[in-house]
Amino acid sequence: MTSPALQEILALLGCPAAGNPAQYLFERAIEAAGLDWRFLTCEVPPDRIADALAGAAAMGFRGCLLSAPLREAAPPLLRSLSPAAVFSGAVSLVERRDGALTGHMTDGRGVVEALRGHCDPAGAGVLVIGAGPSARATALELSLAGAATIAVGDPSADRVQSLVEALLGLGAAPAVALPWQPTMEVPGDVGIVVLAGPSLTTLAGLRGDLVVADVLLASQPSVAAGAAAAHGACLVDGLEIHAAQTAIDFHTLTGMEADAEMLRDALDEFLS
């Protein structure tokens, strides 16, 4: 137990905040860890994010989770950023460290951790659908995990080119841009597909040996993920990914481990 004189405070800053499972999950993890901490859910308009972060720092909050669209507004407001936050241009987690705020981007780590329960990303060909902050963070972590190649597809050619150039700059996995099509073809050398872009994307060339990670947090898979599962592919759904990311966030803020399976069960309860 921590000191009863002053409880540590964690918070979700969201827009919208309603319907976000962060408080439900963190309270489960806090109880399981035996911590006398509190979690708050706060609605923060995008034009007040600077005030909200300054207030969190002034009141000594241990940390905050950020939901879109606050994530892309946060980086210039923080003292320091993790490499993933710099690479993605967004912040999903704010940690108070030495009296100041540090920004992290843990979306990609959550995807890779969930994937590792089903396959080894090292040496695998990867297709990332999407080129926004979450997709960028995921592509970064897959490159660092030793992916053999990374192909990127997104409706925005400029975003795709920016991500491919950034990946090539790492000097790790070769990266290529794929022309966007209403139905994206999965290349034959790809073993992992990450769906981190438009939810109505459809895929061709689906195979039973694929592992498909669907970042959409919903009780039902996206159209593309459902089709992949119907073809026998291994589906890593958004609940598993979100549970893995929450465990990572909890460890970052508390230094304690959280049971990802317990968090997955809690997500099932929350969404039911």
Give the domain ranges of the chain: 9-105+240-271, 109-236
Give the pLDDT of residue 201: 79
Report percent pLDDT > 90 for the chain: 92
Give the pLDDT of residue 4: 53
Among candidates 88, 11, 75, 90, which has minimal Cα distance to 44? 11
Backbone angles phi, psi at 175, to 5 degrees: -130, 140
- Residues facing residue 64 across a β-bridge: 11, 94
Give the pLDDT of residue 1: 44
Pairing mode, if any, of strands 100-104 and 93-97? Answer: antiparallel
CATH 3.40.50.2300 fits domain 109-236: no
The four Cα atoms 150, 155, 82, 43 give a dihedral, to 10 degrees, of -140
Backbone angles phi, psi at 188, to 5 degrees: -65, -25
Instruction: Give the strand order in the sheet containing 63-66.
Output: 38-43, 9-14, 63-66, 93-97, 100-104, 80-81
From CA 142, how far away is CA 165, in angstroms rounded? 15
**DSSP character for 24?**
H
Do the beta carbons of residue 163 and residue 136 sit within 8 Å?
Answer: yes
Backbone angles phi, psi at 30, to 5 degrees: -65, -45
Among candidates 169, 161, 175, which has minimal Cα distance to 127? 175
Give the pLDDT of residue 98: 87
Backbone angles phi, psi at 106, to 5 degrees: -110, 5
Could you please state the CATH topology (level 3) that the domain comprising 9-105+240-271 is classified under.
Rossmann fold (3.40.50)
| Whole-structure pTM value | 0.95
9-105+240-271 and 109-236 share one CATH topology? yes
Helix (H) or strand (E) holding 227: helix 223-230
Distance, C-alpha 15 to centroid of its chain: 17
Distance, C-alpha 180 to centroid of its chain: 23
> For 183-226, how does the pLDDT look when each residue is reduced to its tens digit (9 = 90+)?
999 999 999 999 998 777 799 999 999 999 999 999 889 999 99
From CA 229, how far away is CA 145, in angstroms rounded? 25
Residue segments in the chain with a per-residue pLDDT below the cut of 70: 1-5
Give the pLDDT of residue 99: 86
Give the pLDDT of residue 2: 47
